[in-house]
Amino acid sequence: MAFSLDNLLVIGISSRALFDLEAEDAIFQSQGLDAFRQHQLENENTILKPGAGYALVKALLKLNALIPGHRMVEVVVMSRNSSETSLRIFNSIQHYGLDITRAALTGGAPLAPYLNAFNVSLFLSLHEDDVQAAINSGVASAMLYPMPPNAADMEQIRIAFDGDAVLFSDESERIYQQQGVEAFESHERENAKKTLPDGPFARLLRALSYLQNHFKAPDGRAFPLRTALVTARASPAHERVIRTLRAWDIAIDETFFMGGVNKSAVLSAFKPHMFFDDQHGHCLKASDVVPTGRVPIKQTPEQKN
């Protein structure tokens, strides 16, 4: 019988996001494919160091041990490498004891067309074109920033999200950017009882919420996952967020309405395995203290061209 990915939380992650391959990428960029290929073949037994997405993947895979015989998470390595140069990746996966058995190796071709084939719920990469293409195709995706020094390795899985253009659409964010804070607050006050449209990570949040609410450890422990919303919104724009989450029947564990205050201190206290935001400036500051991924804005067909 074929194995189905339909009812699993599937994480697609590029090899550069899972492991530190920056030196190898530099060889590829400066010396070309042949030099990269030779380097990988000569070093295929040299174990790679963890990359920017390693901590989140490792934490999520622990969910498969929560209920014996019940698998919740599948991780697929998605790489532009060929199978010939990928053995080092699999050797490193085995070295760290990661429960990863599936891969898509495209030999230089874009990865985004294969996301739906693997039913990917979240795609993590350091390749901006692949991340943008994934967002355009409706898959939650983020481009990861370098790991901060001394990143916390919490036993409990922790994920933090920005609001507008991440969990919610960028509709309100566009008003703020184009017309200013007064127009934004007026718009949100007038639409306080109107649910915010879904953003690119809404489906992922629903999946995480479902896991939290429907699975418990056999020994009665709570589900080992905690979520946070860290948004620049403040009163009066907070009401629409609260009503939207209520309409979605989702209770985020911790919510912070920052009102424009730097998010880094709150994120440092929450210690997420990953924080998702849409703005480079916010991501740059956050990446100094926690693992961070930037969520690009979905492009229209006109913007793509």
99 tagged catalytic: no
Active-site position among 162, 164, 277, 278: 162
> Of 98, 13, 99, 85, nearest to 44 (Cα)?
85
- CA distances to 235, 239, 240, 246, 302 from 189, rounded to whole Å, are 9, 8, 8, 17, 32
DSSP 98: -
CA geometry: angle 212, 284, 254, nearest 5 deg = 25
Cβ proximity of 120 and 8 under 8 Å: no
Q: Count H helices, E strands: the chain?
A: 13, 10
Q: Find all residues with CB under 8 Å of 103, minimum gap 6, and list them.
A: 76, 77, 78, 79, 86, 89, 90
Q: Annotated active-site positions, please?
A: 162
